[in-house]
Amino acid sequence: MRPYTRIFSTMTVDGRIASRTGYSRLSCEEDFTLQHSLRAWSDIVVVGSRTALADDPRLTVRRVPGRSPMRGVVDSRLRVPPTARMFTRPGGVLITVEGHGEERLRPYRERGVEIIQAGRGRVDLVQAWRLLYERLGVRRVMVEGGGGLNLGLLEKGLVDEVWVTVAPYVFGSGVSVFEGRGFDGLVEKGELRLLDVKVLCGGWVSLRYEVLRPRLPLDV
């Protein structure tokens, strides 16, 4: 079994979530409200290690009523420190690989961080998602990037919905909303179906898609 998973990102018109120099402030007020209501919908919000290091996000619900979900990071090499802001409240989750010594994991445990270990070398996302479901009771995941984690999950068929907000900017380079080797476009490609379109703040566009393929069944 695996949890139902939504990706949420705000990108430029050219599909970038961060500029070459790491600038990533793209949301407007209504987009922040949408982001926080999606957090409140989820049992856990997950980011990749580079996003956690670049932005040190809190990942809590602040702009709408609702409880804050658990907060997780996919971090094979334990680069995100136990002092990260996402770990300062109860509900932090470190998703990493097997084989780290107990002395390296202890500082996280001492802060009450749950540790999920899946795969060797690099996190096995399919196994990690199964463990989130089985061990932590997670049924709904919201993924807030970055591009590397977004594509890693999509390639494994673990994403059910993609929510992107298009901000009226162009970076021309930087990190794409889906970043990595990618699909070759002929035999294999990610395929989505548009579910909803909304204009936010008079110029931002929120797009909600369902993933058609690749997509694993929820009861794998």
Ligand X SMILES: NC(=O)c1ccc[n+]([C@@H]2O[C@H](COP(=O)([O-])OP(=O)(O)OC[C@H]3O[C@@H](n4cnc5c(N)ncnc54)[C@H](OP(=O)(O)O)[C@@H]3O)[C@@H](O)[C@H]2O)c1
- Which residues of the shown chain bind ligand X in the complex (CB under 6 A)? 9-10, 17-18, 22, 24, 26, 47-51, 54-55, 74-77, 79, 122-123, 125, 144-149, 152, 175, 179
CB distance 59 to 39 below 8 Å? yes
Q: How far is the CB of 114 from ligand X (least distance, A)?
A: 17
Which one, 49 or 60, has the nearer CB to ligand X?
Answer: 49
Q: How far is the CB of 134 from ligand X (least distance, A)?
A: 19
Element (H, E) at 51: helix 49-55
Which one, 8 or 133, has the nearer CB to ligand X?
Answer: 8
Which one, 175 or 211, has the nearer CB to ligand X?
Answer: 175
AA identity, residue 165? T
Which one, 9 or 68, has the nearer CB to ligand X?
Answer: 9
Shortest-Cβ-distance residue relative to ligand X? 146
Contact residues for 21 (Cβ-Cβ < 8 A; gap 6+): none
AA identity, residue 218? L
The SS3 of residue 11 is strand
CB distance 104 to 117 below 8 Å? no
Q: How far is the CB of 61 from ligand X (least distance, A)?
A: 17
Identify any residues that bridge with 16 across adjacent strands, giving them in sequence order.
176
Q: How far is the CB of 193 from ligand X (least distance, A)?
A: 22
